[in-house]
């Protein structure tokens, strides 16, 4: 089997369920946001909260009832049937650093992959009541209205986002620093929200590393459906099997230029 | 004359006018937020927008009518009568990097100084409908309710904010990096909003540099009135004459420890 670029005939049902997943995660996230949190460290030092686990469990319940044959790959609770044609990839609270410090930019990320290729994506920012929805082959929406990237012909004019300069290991940091030296300005600290801002035409580039499939798969249909381009740092499409380096651009011209700068 | 730590008998009127200033700036900021902006660079490379200038002009009109004898020191439109007993220090849009990239964390900063000492401060985040108000000698409020810092006894448990690692020139960067190596985690990208999060007990430390009086004076009464401590990097109180290095802590114990680490 080869990857398919469309969600298939189930698209309306998939979009409906994705919305219910985001609603369920939002209710739980907001119950914990800005409350006293027991934040513990996993081995990779990401903060993990009760909200994270409870929100993923709620989403799994919905998926188990709606699509029992689909696979699920969640940040918190692991992988089930990920060799299925359709796999839901869930990050209940992306931006845990925002979440645990009271900053309202965290989001729930929901992706649906078909044969490993992301065909639907949601970024939901419950503290802001903002939601981006991307479905392969359709225009991306922001709170139901069309979202569209902006043009940016030159790297030197581009606003670049990354969550933190500390997210780049070894040579990736040098590559990021080269890119930072070529753009108009690098801004930090927005996690998944940066890709929403890019899809809505407020930001030109996002370059990140050390990301997991549940961090990046949801972003792909959103950026693509808004007219942008999102790949790994070699220019390859993002799939379940991609590494953790992501480059998103609103304009293909600076995407190509940024790839060259990252490659050195 | 020496500095006074209280706003004096005019406090209720000052708080009322500060609220009107914030309301006026918010209306103008939101008219421009997420619209196409002509962003130009000043010599210091801060982005400046029409919103910035128009919001400051509106605030100056209000102050000119309410307190014609007071001085005004604004980011955009300069200094008038700053040898007056009372001086209003205005940053119509702090967090211009957030503002021009569609990120809703920017804020209007309003300080009132008496004999050079900040006695009233407002952080208003109009895209979030969130407002912190601090008045010397009174409890800080967040949207009208009391705001309070949280305790944090050890640097190693502290969540640290800074807008960007690129805001620290020369040796200040080394000092910040030493501090970053001692805390639990450094998070970036929140500008003035980070000090509000600290005052509300979600963040433990903020360390920044290259700030101007209109960037930091409003923060002082807010942090102090919430039970925190805010000084320059030598531990001195912030005044109109302070340099641009700011250290805020929710807990005095880690403030002292952070000062030592910054000093090297």
User: In chain B, where are the structural domains located?
Assistant: 11-146, 155-263
Per-residue exposure over A11-42, b if at least 16 CB sit within 10 Å of its own CB, e if not: beebbebbeebbbbbbebbeebbbeebebeee
Architecture (CATH level 2) of domain B155-263: 3-Layer(aba) Sandwich (3.40)
User: Measured between beta carbons, which residues in chain B are less than 8 angstroms from residue A47?
Assistant: 185
Q: Can you read off the two tokens belonging to residue A23?
A: 């609603």
Contact A247, A231 (CB under 8 A): yes
Q: Which pLDDT tens digits describe chain A residue by residue (264 residues)?
A: 344 568 988 888 999 999 999 999 999 999 999 986 555 544 333 445 789 999 999 999 999 999 999 999 999 889 999 999 999 999 999 999 999 999 999 999 999 999 999 999 999 999 999 999 999 999 999 999 999 999 999 999 999 999 999 999 999 999 999 999 999 999 999 999 999 999 999 999 999 999 999 999 999 999 999 999 999 999 999 999 999 999 999 999 999 999 999 999
Phi, psi of B53 (to 5 degrees): -70, -45
Chain B residues contacting A via beta carbons under 8 Å? 34, 45, 47, 97-98, 100-105, 128, 159, 161, 163-166, 185-190, 193, 197, 200, 202-203
Contact B224, B173 (CB under 8 A): no
pLDDT digits (tens, 9 = 90+) for A190-202: 999 999 999 999 9
The two beta strands, A205-208 and A229-231, are unpaired
Handedness of CA A179, A180, A182, A183 (dihedral sign): positive
Per-residue exposure over B31-46, b if at least 16 CB sit within 10 Å of its own CB, e if not: ebbbeebebeeeeeee
| Residue A164 to residue B101, Cβ atoms within 8 A | no
Q: Can you read off the two tokens belonging to residue A111?
A: 């992706």
Indicate the residue of B45, B185, B188 with minimum beta-carbon distance to A188: B188
User: Measured between beta carbons, which residues in chain A are less than 8 angstroms from residue B103?
Assistant: 105, 187, 190, 193, 197, 202
> Can you tell me the distance from the alpha carbon of A92 to that of A21, in angstroms, rounded to the nearest whole number?
9
What is this structure's pTM? Answer: 0.94
Find the closest chain B residue to A101 by CA distance: B202
Partner residues linked to B186 by β-bridges: B160
pLDDT digits (tens, 9 = 90+) for B205-235: 999 999 999 999 999 999 999 999 999 999 9
Partner residues linked to B162 by β-bridges: B188
DSSP A78-114: EEESTTSSEEEEEEEEE-HHHHHTT-TT-EEEEEEEE
| Residue B102 to residue A186, Cβ atoms within 8 A | no
Q: A106, A129, A188: which to substitute to probe chain B, counting the most B Cβ within 10 Å? A: A188
Contact B49, B72 (CB under 8 A): no
Contact B98, B191 (CB under 8 A): yes
Average pLDDT, chain B: 93
Query: Closest Cα of chain B to A160: distance in Å?
Result: 9
Query: Closest Cα of chain A to B1: distance in Å?
Result: 41
Q: Residue with structure tokens 């001085």?
A: B71
Partner residues linked to B205 by β-bridges: B160, B249
On the question of a common fold for B11-146 and B155-263, the answer reads no
For chain A, the farthest-separated pair of C-alpha atoms sits apart, in whole angstroms, at 50
The predicted pLDDT at position B60 comes to 98
Find the closest chain B residue to A129 by CA distance: B128
Decide yes or no: CATH 2.40.110.10 for domain B11-146. Answer: no
ipTM: 0.93
| Residue B187 to residue A105, Cβ atoms within 8 A | no
Contact B155, A97 (CB under 8 A): no
Helix and strand counts by DSSP (H, E) for chain B: 8, 15
Find the closest chain B residue to A95 by CA distance: B187
pLDDT band at B121 (very low <50, low <70, confident <90, very high): very high
| Residue A101 to residue B166, Cβ atoms within 8 A | no
């Amino acid at each position: 089997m080869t990857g398919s670029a469309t969600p298939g005939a189930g698209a309306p049902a998939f979009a409906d369920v994705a919305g219910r997943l985001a609603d369920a995660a939002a209710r739980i996230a907001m119950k914990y946001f800005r409350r006293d949190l027991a934040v513990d460290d996993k081995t990779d030092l990401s903060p993990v909260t009760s909200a994270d686990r409870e929100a993923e469990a709620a989403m799994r319940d919905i998926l188990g009832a709606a699509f029992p044959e689909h696979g699920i790959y969640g940040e918190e609770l692991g992988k089930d049937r990920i060799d299925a044609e359709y796999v839901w990839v869930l990050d209940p609270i992306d931006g845990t650093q925002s979440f645990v410090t009271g900053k309202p930019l965290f989001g729930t990320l929901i992706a649906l992959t078909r044969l490993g290729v992301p065909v639907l994506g949601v970024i939901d920012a419950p503290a802001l009541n903002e939601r981006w929805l991307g479905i392969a082959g359709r225009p991306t929406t922001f709170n139901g209205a069309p979202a569209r990237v902006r043009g940016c012909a030159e790297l030197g004019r581009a606003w670049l986002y990354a969550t933190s300069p500390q997210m780049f290991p070894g040579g990736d940091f040098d590559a990021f620093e080269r890119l930072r030296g070529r753009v108009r300005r690098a801004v930090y600290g927005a996690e998944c929200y940066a890709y929403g801002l890019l899809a809505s035409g407020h930001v030109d580039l996002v370059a990140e590393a050390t990301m997991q499939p549940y961090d990046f798969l949801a972003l792909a249909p959103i950026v693509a459906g808004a007219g942008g381009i999102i790949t790994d740092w070699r220019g390859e499409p993002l799939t379940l099997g991609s590494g953790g380096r992501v480059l998103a651009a609103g304009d293909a011209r600076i995407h190509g230029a940024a790839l060259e700068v990252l490659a050195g």
